[in-house]
Amino acid sequence: MSTLKRFAPTAARLFLGTVFTVFGFNFFFHFLPMPPPPPGGAVGTFFAGVMATGYLMQLVHAVEIGAGILLLANRFVPLALTLLAPIIVNIVGFHLFVAHGGLAIPAVVLAGELFLAWTHRAVFAPMLRARPAQAARLADHPTAALRHAA
């Protein structure tokens, strides 16, 4: 096995874990300077709306911290990837449709997520089946309707 194939999943996992842990904690503790969103316009309106909910950004960043720590600890990696997937999709969507730029870092994060998901594809494969194997067996059994009716 080549060195790249051996260390790339670990590097991607540590990269994603670090990004989401650091920026998740930064939301709460403000240790990295972040420019304020511009007032008005699509970006300002978007952030004003999200912050007005009073909970959404706190929830998102708490999930980022939890998933980031799981990635750094190499524990429950598929769960962490599943938790981060909608967050990453929203980050990419924000930069594509609202901010109209700054897509380099979100693209690298998305690539890391997709690479790790591919690395753990055996875990995700059952979720991507149209009809799970066990449910298919139960449905074909003559007494399946009786068991589910009880």
- Segment 78-109, tens digit of pLDDT: 999 999 999 999 999 999 999 988 999 999 99
Q: How far apart are CA 68 and CA 60, in angstroms?
A: 12
**Domain residue spans in the chain?**
3-149
Number of neighbouring beta carbons within 10 Å of residue 106: 19
User: Residues near 37 by Cβ (< 8 Å), separated by ≥ 6?
Assistant: 43, 44, 46, 47
**Taking a C-beta distance cutoff of 8 angstroms, is the pair 37, 47 a contact?**
yes
The most confident of 1-5, 81-85, 144-148, by mean pLDDT: 81-85
Interatomic CA distance for residues 27 and 38, integer angstroms: 18
Within 10 Å of residue 88's Cβ, how many Cβ atoms? 18
Q: Is the confidence at residue 14, as pLDDT, over 90?
A: yes
Rounded to the nearest 5°, which phi and psi values hold at 145?
A: -65, -35
Nearest to 83 by CA among 49, 108, 116, 106: 116
Spatial neighbors of 132 by CB under 8 A, at least 6 apart, are 126
User: What type of residue is 101?
Assistant: G
22-75 residue pLDDT tens: 999 999 999 999 888 777 789 988 988 998 999 999 999 999 999 999 999 999
